Amino acid sequence: MPKVIVTGATSYLAIALIKRLLAEKYYVYAVIRPKSANSSKLPKNTHLFILELDMNNYFSLSAMELGKIDAIYHFAWDGVRGSDRTITSLQMSNIEATKQLLDVAHQKHISYFIGMGSQAEYGLTAKQLVTEEMPLNPLDAYGIAKKQIYDLGMKAAEQYGFTFVWARIFSAYGYGESPNTLIMSSFRKMLKDEEIKLSPCEHLWDYLYLDDLANALHLLYKAQCPTGAYNVSYGCPRPLKDYVEEMKEVLHSNSRLEFGAIPYGQNVVQMNPSITKIRSAASWTPKINFVTGIQLLYEDMKNEKNQYTSTNI
Number of domains comprising the chain: 1
75-105 confidence digits (pLDDT tens):
999 988 888 888 999 999 999 999 999 999 9
Asked if the structure places residue 142 within a domain, the reply is: yes
Residue at 194 is within a domain:
no
| Residue 20 belongs to some domain of the structure | yes
201 within a domain of the structure (yes/no): no
List, in sequence order, the alpha helices (H) in 173-259. Answer: 182-191, 210-222, 240-250
Chain-wide mean pLDDT for the chain?
94
Mean pLDDT, range 246-256, rounded to an integer: 97
Reported confidence tier of residue 175, pLDDT bands at 50, 70, 90: very high
Inter-axis angle of helices 240-250 and 182-191, nearest 10? 30
The sign of the torsion formed by the CA atoms of 37, 30, 62, 142 equals negative
Contact 21, 218 (CB under 8 A): yes
pLDDT band at 52 (very low <50, low <70, confident <90, very high): very high
Give me the phi and psi of 7, to 5 degrees please: -90, 160
**Do the domain assignments include residue 258?**
no
| Contact present, 31 and 8 (Cβ < 8 Å) | yes
More confident residue, 285 or 269: 285
What pTM, to 2 d.p., does this model score? 0.93
- The predicted structure's pLDDT at residue 303: 81
**CATH number for position 165:** 3.40.50.720
Q: Cα(92)–Cα(230) distance, rounded to whole angstroms?
A: 23
Each residue's pLDDT tens digit, 189-213: 999 999 999 999 999 999 999 999 9
Q: List the domain range (segments joined by +) for residue 128.
A: 3-172+209-232
Instruction: Give the count of beta carbons closer than 10 Å to the beta carbon of residue 38.
Output: 14
Neighbours of 313 (CB within 10 A): 18
Contact 153, 115 (CB under 8 A): yes
